[in-house]
Structures are given as C-alpha cells and as structure tokens.
C-alpha cells in the first residue's frame, strides 16, 4: 500500500533499557545515553560496538514506561557482550510481521503518536488485525542530520 508497508523481520537481538515515569522525550534521552555507554565499552568485554539504526522506543497505551533499544550489529548477534549496567539488557525479539508507516522531518513524541494514530486508522479501515495496545517508534538519523530524515512507527501484525 502507498501509505504503509508490511515487513517480515527475522529473530534478532537488541540491547535495551526501560525508563520509567518520565516523558517520552526524556525517556528517549536517558535511554539513548545508557545504550550509547554500552556500545562505547560499558560491557563485560569492554568492547566498542558500532552504532546501528534504528533506535526504537516501545510505547504502550496508558503506560509511563518506555523501552529504548539499539539493534545489535550482525557480527555480535550470536554472542553480544553482556551489559555491566544493571538497567541495560540484551533481548531477543522473535521474528514478526510488522506494519510500518514512514515519515520525514524531526520526529517528536507528538508526531510519532499522530503517525501511529494514522497507521492504526488505515489498518482498521482495511480490516488488518494488529496489536493495538502498543507501537514502536523507529528513528534512523543522528540529531545532526538536517535533511531527508527517516522515521517510522511500527504495529505488530496479529
């Protein structure tokens, strides 16, 4: 469809942290830095790991907890170094079919919520079955990139 796509993602490991009781913007900031320290060597092997995209944030309806995640690079998927920060963990996400809506510009929590609402309305109108109680935001660009930015919202297909 021109206004969304359905992607099949393979099982993969992500490094994640949950930030509680903050605004989404503040949770993203705090979570990003915890994960950035992990890839900069705050892990059991004191290993630097390449930054990957996207950076995702799990947003649950009516919940003030946000899970921020970095994709573990392919060369570390089999055995990622364990985090030394107790707030950071490795998670294995199962293979999944995901409805994706892409948009440009600088994405705020409000813009992500607006795009998620548009995507959920389109999916309902087309009779698609999906998990409506949560969505992921996905950001692909450094804050220093000014043009041709790429952002996404993801709903998991049921």
Which of 36-40, 62-66, 118-122 shows the lowest mean pLDDT across its residues?
62-66
Closest CA to 49 of 60, 57, 38: 38
The pLDDT tens digits of the residues spanning 83-120 come to: 999 999 999 999 999 999 999 999 999 999 999 999 99
CATH of domain 5-156: 3.20.80.10
Overall average pLDDT of the 126-150 stretch: 96
Residue 7 has pLDDT above 90, yes or no: yes
Structure tokens at 35: 């994960």
Domain ranges for the chain, please list them.
5-156
Percent of the chain at pLDDT > 70 equals 100
Cα–Cα distance, 58 to 136 (Å, whole number): 5
Does residue 153 have a pLDDT over 80? yes
């Amino acid at each position: 469809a021109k206004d969304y796509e359905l992607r099949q993602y393979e099982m993969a490991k992500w490094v994640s942290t949950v930030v509680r009781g903050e605004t989404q913007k503040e949770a993203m900031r705090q979570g990003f830095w915890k994960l950035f320290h992990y890839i900069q060597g705050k892990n059991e092997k004191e290993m630097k790991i390449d930054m990957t995209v996207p950076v995702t944030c799990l947003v649950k309806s009516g919940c003030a907890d946000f899970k921020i995640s970095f994709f573990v690079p392919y060369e570390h998927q089999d055995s990622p170094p364990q985090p030394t920060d107790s707030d950071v963990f490795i998670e294995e996400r199962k293979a999944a079919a995901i409805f994706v809506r892409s948009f440009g510009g600088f994405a705020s929590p409000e813009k992500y919520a607006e795009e998620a609402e548009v995507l959920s309305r389109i999916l309902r109108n087309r009779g698609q079955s999906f998990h409506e109680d949560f969505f992921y935001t996905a950001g692909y660009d450094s804050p220093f990139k000014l043009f041709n930015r790429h952002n996404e919202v993801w709903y998991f297909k049921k």
